[in-house]
Amino acid sequence: MQSSPKIDAETQNFDILLFDNFSNHCLANTVEPLRAANTLSRAPLYRWRFLTMDGAAVASSSGMQVAPHGPLSEGQGTALMIMPSYGFRGLGGWDITRGLRAAASRYTYLAGLDTGSWLLASAGLLDGYRATIHWEELVGFAEAFPNVDAQRERFVIDRDRITCSGAMAAFDLIMHLISETHDPLLSVAVAQLFMTRDSARSHSSFSRTTGRTVDRAISVMQEHLEHPLTVRDIAQQVGCTQRTLEQRMRVEMNATPQAVYRRLRLILVRKLVSDTDLKVTEIAARCGYENASAMTRAFKAEYGQTPRQLRSQSHA
């Protein structure tokens, strides 16, 4: 089981420490879900900055240049996310070790993403912790750092340390943090925006049979947005009673199946309003509403504005 951090549901300040040859994919899977969570919640739930060891620009493995907000020495906040990706074995100098050890006192959590776990372990900051790393490096990681309990997991959260095995796992990790810190429905909404199902649920839920039931129910809902099913029909498709599904949804999502289903449909409404030129009446039909008026009322109750108002902002 994961030992999840208990982060206050206020603005989270994440600093991302980049090195030359960092992975664009890992960075995007870390930052874009945070941006989407802010957009969907209409609140600054997360802020992030890019740092480097000395404040100089770095280039990703594909050549993308990033001008950081500052050097590591100026960083502090909720979490420091260390992201070296490629070429990490050449980064074991004393300046990095000293910088990471000093940073440990300025952040609530230290996170090693992709191969960032290696730098944390090299600095002695994972001794006595469970941790993971990119699967290609796991055996070497376990051999090089015997004081670290190396785990073959997508991500591991152990007290004030977070480690993640790669770019795809970074998305799962952020989904988990959003779900644990804020509304589980928000993580579903973020995952829906990125057209993914498996990451809509928190990682920890997959270790429980109840988590699988709710996850399957969400998948059924996503497959039937245009022609919504009844809760009874959804329960039958996932192999449980309606009462069981309602109970498990309340426990895991803090919401009824109807509320989850409504949120998924409204997320699709938002996406179609923002990304297409479809008429509001057609969007209503595609999202399972009898008419545009019913959809507009539900949308305004959820997002505080009408679909037409959102579209005018998007096209401004």
pLDDT tens digits, residue range 281-311?
A: 999 999 999 999 999 999 999 888 999 999 8
Beta strand ranges found along the chain (DSSP E): 12-18, 46-52, 58-59, 65-66, 70-71, 77-83, 107-112, 130-131, 149-150, 155-158, 161-164
Q: How high is the pLDDT of residue 89? A: 77
Q: How high is the pLDDT of residue 28? A: 94
Pick the CATH number of 208-316 from 3.40.50.10950, 1.20.1270.30, 3.40.50.1950, 1.10.10.60: 1.10.10.60
- The single-letter DSSP state of residue 198 is G
Domain with CATH 1.10.10.60 in the chain: 208-316
pTM of the full structure: 0.77
Q: How high is the pLDDT of residue 179? A: 84
Helix (H), strand (E), coil (C) string for 257-306: HHHHHHHHHHHHHHHHHHHCCCCHHHHHHHCCCCCHHHHHHHHHHHHCCC
pLDDT digits (tens, 9 = 90+) for 156-214: 999 999 999 988 999 999 999 988 888 778 888 888 777 644 433 433 333 333 378 89
Closest CA to 169 of 26, 55, 47, 54: 26
Q: How far apart are CA 169 and CA 166, in angstroms?
A: 5
* Amino acid, res. 152: R
Q: How far apart are CA 149 and CA 104, in angstroms?
A: 20
Do residues 82 and 123 make contact, with C-beta atoms less than 8 angstroms apart? no
Closest CA to 166 of 180, 153, 181, 148: 153
Q: How high is the pLDDT of residue 92? A: 67
Return the structure tokens found at 136: 């290609």
User: In sequence order, what are the residues at sequence separation of 6 or more whose Cβ sits closer than 8 angstroms to the Cβ of residue 305?
Assistant: 299
**Homologous superfamily (CATH) for 12-175:** Class I glutamine amidotransferase (GATase) domain (3.40.50.880)
Do residues 202 and 180 make contact, with C-beta atoms less than 8 angstroms apart? yes
Domain with CATH 3.40.50.880 in the chain: 12-175
pLDDT tens-place values along the chain, 316 residues long: 344 444 445 789 999 999 999 999 999 999 999 999 998 887 899 999 999 999 999 999 999 999 999 999 999 999 999 999 787 777 767 889 999 999 999 999 999 999 999 999 999 999 999 999 998 899 999 999 999 999 999 999 999 999 999 889 999 999 999 888 887 788 888 887 776 444 334 333 333 333 788 989 998 998 999 999 999 999 999 999 999 999 999 988 888 999 999 989 998 898 899 889 999 999 999 999 999 999 999 999 988 899 999 988 866 5
Alpha-carbon distances of 299 from 39, 42, 198, 265, rounded to whole Å = 15, 14, 25, 10
Q: Give the phi and the psi of residue 264 in degrees, each rounded to 5.
A: -65, -40
- The helix/strand/coil state of 130 is strand
User: In sequence order, what are the residues at sequence separation of 6 or more whose Cβ sits closer than 8 angstroms to the Cβ of residue 167?
Assistant: 23, 25, 26, 29, 114
Q: Report the 10 Å Cβ neighbour count for 159.
A: 11
Q: How far apart are CA 201 and CA 211, in angstroms?
A: 8
